[in-house]
């Protein structure tokens, strides 16, 4: 779907996110990148524009806007700052497990507060030795006689690590059952036995705090077990990632579009050989290819998101496809945009190099692009088998 065909509701979210990005994100993006400071002022901005409501169902205080409107918001925010785009989007990654698998009480307790932006939430699946092979995680939750659980282990690459208030944490309650023995828990910051650990020093998205999480004899009550159900955690994580990956693709899309906008502006202004650089055919063709690839990525992202919202059969394949394609396009486009700035592209006096650094991670997190290809490959061979 091209942008011209978006509905009134979609356009409203785009307009809101764009205004929020212009006021609260773009003016500070370079400073956040330099200082790695958490953008609390922009979180307040996003609250003011009600952006945390978009993906939360209406019955829990949200707008019921689904994944497509979430993607539209993430795209606009990421045009201004890829870091802010993901630290906003990761709240959807953290809350989809509750939306999909929480008990009524868990939904009522948390979703309205997430929708209002009162509580930030993060997602704890990966570990030092368990990344792509998520089912091999070693964090353990041992059930006690009174029904509570004691969690021991560590989580790695936790986006929004020390900024979140609530964490969806995956741990095994039955190690002998492999991925079927994984369960999910809701743990609040400050809970005894739960400690935020090392902060990573990142190449890009530098305003995003990515931390290790440590659980040391961390006792949680039975009502913190997601869905009051042991063993459904892995499927819950996979279903969550199916819904969250289009938002990473949208982050990539925003980064690519933002870089192209800057490259067009720069090459129009920059004079060489007595004319603007953008008037050379070689440059026009580069710009044209960048714009065309971005448009192809956009349509795949929007359609995959619509597929997820409509619950079409096999939407994990589309979610994986849009993540692979849009993030590869973002890396290619942002690299070419740096090239178009020449020597100025390689230094921090200009904002363009940040786009390239921010884009790289989109090919890695929420499932590397190699894992996305595995998901797609498995899906198409299964379809062929009938
Ligand atoms: N929906 C529902 N269930 C699913 C599913 C899906 N999309 N995919 C798999 N499952 C179920 C299967 O049906 C199967 O169920 P049964 O045991 O009942 O048969 C079970 O899960 C195991 O499935 P597989 O055998 O296919 O699992 P696998 O071990 O081969 O792994 C994988 C599949 C796709 C590689 C998966 O491990 C994966 O997605 N890995 C990447 C993990 C990832 O994206 N991590 C990123 C974390 S977030 C992050 O980056 C940090 C952050 O904060 C942003």
pTM of the model: 0.97
More confident residue, 3 or 303: 303
Measured CA to CA in angstroms, residue 382 lies from 192, 307, 310, 374, 378 at distances of 45, 19, 22, 12, 6
Checking if the pLDDT of 77 tops 90, the result is yes
Among 234, 245, 323, the mutation site with the greatest number of ligand 1 atoms within 8 A of its Cβ is 234
Residue nearest atom 18 of ligand 1, based on CA coordinates: 180
- Residues 366, 241 contacting (CB under 8 angstroms): yes
215 φ/ψ angles, rounded to the nearest 5 degrees: -120, 115
Q: How far is the CA of 222 from the centre of ligand 1 (A)?
A: 25
pLDDT on residue 11: 98
Asked about 366 being catalytic, the answer comes back as: yes
Average pLDDT over residues 98-127: 98
pLDDT on residue 2: 83
Q: What is the pLDDT of residues 160-194, one digit of tens each?
A: 999 999 999 999 999 999 999 999 999 999 999 99
Average pLDDT over residues 295-315: 97
Residue nearest atom 11 of ligand 1, based on CA coordinates: 235
| Closest approach atom of ligand 1 to CA 241 | 44
Strands 149-159 and 210-220 turn out to be: antiparallel
- Residues 196, 189 contacting (CB under 8 angstroms): yes
- % pLDDT > 70, the chain: 100
pLDDT on residue 109: 98
The half-sphere exposure of 126 on its side-chain side, counting CA atoms within 13 A, is: 18
- Residues 125, 237 contacting (CB under 8 angstroms): yes
Checking if the pLDDT of 1 tops 90, the result is no
């Amino acid at each position: 779907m091209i942008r011209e065909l978006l509905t009134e509701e979609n356009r409203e979210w785009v307009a809101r996110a764009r205004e929020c990005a212009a006021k609260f994100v773009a003016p500070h993006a370079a400073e956040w990148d330099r200082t790695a400071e958490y953008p609390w002022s922009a979180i307040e901005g996003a609250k003011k524009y009600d952006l945390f409501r978009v993906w939360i169902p209406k019955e829990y205080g949200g707008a019921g806007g689904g994944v497509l409107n979430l993607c539209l918001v993430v795209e606009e925010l990421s045009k201004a700052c890829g870091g802010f785009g993901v630290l906003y989007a990761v709240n959807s990654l953290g809350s989809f497990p509750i939306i999909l698998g929480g008990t009524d009480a868990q939904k009522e307790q948390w979703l309205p507060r997430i929708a209002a932006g009162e509580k930030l939430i993060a997602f704890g699946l990966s570990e030092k030795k368990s990344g792509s092979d998520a089912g091999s995680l070693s964090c353990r939750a041992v059930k006690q006689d009174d029904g509570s659980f004691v969690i021991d282990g560590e989580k790695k690459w936790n986006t929004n690590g020390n900024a979140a208030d609530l964490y969806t944490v995956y741990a095994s309650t039955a190690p002998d059952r492999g991925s079927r023995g994984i369960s999910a828990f809701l743990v609040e910051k400050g809970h005894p036995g739960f400690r935020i650990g090392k902060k990573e020093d990142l190449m890009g998205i530098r305003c995003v705090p990515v931390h290790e999480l440590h659980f040391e004899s961390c006792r949680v009550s039975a009502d913190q077990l997601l869905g009051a159900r042991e063993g459904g955690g892995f499927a819950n994580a996979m279903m969550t990632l199916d819904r969250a990956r289009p938002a990473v693709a949208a982050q990539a899309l925003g980064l690519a579009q933002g870089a192209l906008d800057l490259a067009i502006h720069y090459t129009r202004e920059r004079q060489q050989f007595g004319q603007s650089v953008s008037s050379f055919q070689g440059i026009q063709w580069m710009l044209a290819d960048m714009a065309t690839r971005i448009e192809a990525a956009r349509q795949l992202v929007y359609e995959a998101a619509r597929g997820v919202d409509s619950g079409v059969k096999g939407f994990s394949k589309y979610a994986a496809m849009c993540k692979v394609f849009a993030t590869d396009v973002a890396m290619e486009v942002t690299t070419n945009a740096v090239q178009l700035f020449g020597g100025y592209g390689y230094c921090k006096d200009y904002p363009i190099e940040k786009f390239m650094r921010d884009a790289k991670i989109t090919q890695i997190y929420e499932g590397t692009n190699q894992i996305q290809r595995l998901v797609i490959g498995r899906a198409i061979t299964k379809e062929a088998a009938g």
